[in-house]
């Protein structure tokens, strides 16, 4: 994945931050950046409120064509050595956001110590209902080492295999491109989620056109008729 391919889609500043423990996104803590940042005391209280193995943070970018989400998991390999320090730093730099490219570069430099984010290709490309990834279920579109092409009929079969995901009233669907899923040293698991649905009435329906577009532009995966 190349940052310049992502960068052109994200122009507006992030509007919200959300934090979750152990992938429990249904219990996410949402922070509205248009109001105020959490205090250090509030952040400590959140971390101490229940035990967890790891914590994740996502930044939501509302654009004209939908909401893009950039996220990452904390791990012990980072320069910042505590979940509290990790979250404080990411929240601070998010508040100072100027453009997506420099935002990602600074996060890489400060958290890992070198350019890292969105340099390697995605380990997996998955589609889910935002903040309901586990309860609704995921569609695995592609994984590393799979061929970089797919038949349209095969893609359609994948997308339609979970009708609760294909058409839903719960929330909009996102297409996740995840890099370094296992968080190997000296790196960090990070991802970008693109909007991949259309709103029709009170339901969101997966958009085949948008999914094919992101497969081609962000992952160089071609869908054949």
How does pLDDT run across 73-115, given as a tens digit for each residue?
999 889 999 999 999 999 999 999 999 999 999 999 999 999 8
* Contact between 68 and 118 (Cβ < 8 Å): no
- Rounded CA-CA distance 15/95 in Å is 9
Cβ neighbours, 10 Å, residue 199: 10
End-to-end CA distance of the chain: 24
Helix 40-48 vs helix 83-95: crossing angle, to nearest 10: 140
Residues belonging to the chain = 225
pLDDT score of 15 more than 90 = yes
Give tens-digit pLDDT for 136-152.
999 999 999 999 999 99
Residue 35: domain span: 3-224
| pTM, entire model | 0.95
- Split into its structural domains, the chain has a count of 1
Look up residue 14 and give its DSSP letter: P
| pLDDT score at 3 | 83
Three-point CA angle 143, 149, 155, nearest 5° = 75
């Amino acid at each position: 994945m190349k940052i310049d391919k992502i960068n052109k889609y994200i122009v507006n500043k992030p509007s919200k931050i959300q934090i979750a423990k152990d992938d429990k996104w249904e219990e996410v803590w949402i922070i509205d950046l248009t109001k105020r940042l959490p205090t250090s005391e509030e952040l400590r209280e959140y971390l101490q409120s229940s035990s967890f193995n790891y914590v994740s943070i996502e930044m939501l970018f509302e654009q004209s064509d939908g909401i893009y989400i950039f996220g990452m998991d904390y791990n012990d390999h980072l320069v910042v050595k505590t979940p509290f320090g990790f979250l404080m730093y990411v929240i601070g730099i998010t508040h100072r956001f100027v453009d997506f490219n420099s935002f990602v570069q600074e996060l890489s430099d400060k958290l890992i110590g070198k350019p890292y984010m969105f340099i390697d290709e995605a380990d997996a490309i998955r589609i889910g209902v935002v903040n309901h990834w586990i309860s609704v279920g995921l569609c695995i579109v592609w994984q590393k080492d799979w061929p970089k092409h797919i038949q349209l009929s095969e893609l359609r079969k994948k997308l339609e295999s979970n009708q609760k995901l294909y058409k839903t009233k719960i929330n909009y669907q996102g297409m996740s491109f995840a890099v370094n899923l296992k968080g190997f040293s000296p790196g960090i698991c990070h991802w970008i989620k693109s909007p991949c649905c259309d709103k029709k009435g009170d339901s969101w329906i997966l958009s085949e056109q948008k999914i094919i577009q992101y497969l081609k532009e962000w992952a160089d995966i071609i869908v054949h008729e």
